[in-house]
Structure 1
């Protein structure tokens, strides 16, 4: 989780596209979600979040192979406080632990 989320940023997620699509509805909570191949739009009050993603080749570390997904976030008409609140929930929901 970050202390500031700009209007546009990119991330590399450690998941497959199928996992991402399974987690995305919960990560956006009650916000309206419109899915299309490789992209989505999330309604946030008067504004919205545009998401685009693309699978990347897996990261290999010795015999371990980790999936990767490149994700682009673009907020439109969403102020800093609302971005922070939305991304706090989004990041906590998407966080995966091991142990």
Structure 2
């Protein structure tokens, strides 16, 4: 989990697309969520929005272990910094996978 979340950033996450889509409704904590196209979603946060975009990447392999990779892009528009930080803190805790 990060300590600060800029208005726009990229990251790689260990999700399949199916797992990501299953997880998103809970991760947005009741904020209106719309899947706007393949690999795209919009989350309404107060008067602003979070635009999400993702692409499936080849899995990472270490010895016999294979881990899915989803390249994600986050862009907040019109969301105050304090609201962005609070939203992402919950989002990251909700989507945290293994290992603490």
Deviation at 1:17, TM superposition (A): 0.2
- For structure 2, which runs of at least 5 residues remain unmatched after alignment? none
Runs of 4+ off more than 4 Å = none
How big is the shift at 1:96? Answer: 1.7
- Report the Cα distance in structure 2 between the residues aligned to 1:97 and 1:66, rounded to whole angstroms: 12
Could you tell me how far apart the structure 2 residues matched to 1:82 and 1:11 are?
Answer: 20
CA drift of 1:31 comes to 0.2
2:53 is equivalent to residue 52 of structure 1: yes
Structure 1, unmatched stretches of 5+, are none
Q: CA deviation at 1:15?
A: 1.0
| Alignment length (residue pairs) | 98
- Give the TM-score normalised by structure 2: 0.94
Q: Match of 1:19, SS? A: helix
Q: Does 1:6 align with 2:3?
A: no
User: Which deviations, in whole Å up to 9, do the C-alpha atoms of 1:30-83 show, x marking residues without a partner?
Assistant: 100000311000000110000000000000101111110000000000111001
Query: For 2:28 and 2:71, how far apart are their aligned partners in 1?
Result: 18
RMSD over aligned CA atoms reads 0.9
- Which deviates more, 26-35 or 89-98? 89-98
Alignment of 1:29-40 (within 5 A): 29-35=29-35, 36-40=37-41
